[in-house]
Amino acid sequence: MVRDIVEMTITNELNPTVRKRLAEIVQLLQVYARLAELEIAAGERPGVGDVVLPEDTPKKVRGWTEGEGAKISEREELSEAMRTREHDAWALKAVGE
């Protein structure tokens, strides 16, 4: 999964918003790994499952990324359609908030 994400990032296949979210996830995983290292260094033995992520994590991340990408595409298409018809896309965004 990491190789796929790296490849998609290098080839610029990821939407910037999705890339930002994935960067946040990576930071959280780094903190998680560092905490596990500190616990081990302090003499605590991690329990089974304390350090390992659930097996379905890659599947969940892929599903989330695809969903986020679809949402972004839909918003971009709507904004483009509104601009072509000379409507104010910002007014629609303000109503949605």
Tell me how many domains the chain contains. Answer: 1
1 by Cβ neighbours in 10 Å (0-12 / 13-18 / 19+) ranks as: exposed
Q: What is the pLDDT of residue 1?
A: 72
Token pair recorded at residue 88: 């104010």
- pLDDT of residue 34 exceeding 70, the answer is yes
The per-residue pLDDT for range 42-67, each reduced to its tens digit, is 887 766 666 667 788 778 877 877 78
pTM above 0.85, yes or no: no
- pLDDT of residue 97 exceeding 60, the answer is no
3-class SS of residue 14: coil
- pLDDT of residue 90 exceeding 60, the answer is no
Residue where the block lists tokens 């605590």: 44
Q: What is the pLDDT of residue 47?
A: 66
Q: What is the pLDDT of residue 73?
A: 76
Q: What is the pLDDT of residue 11?
A: 84
- pLDDT of residue 29 exceeding 80, the answer is yes
Question: Which residue segment(s) compose the domain that 8 sits in?
Answer: 2-96
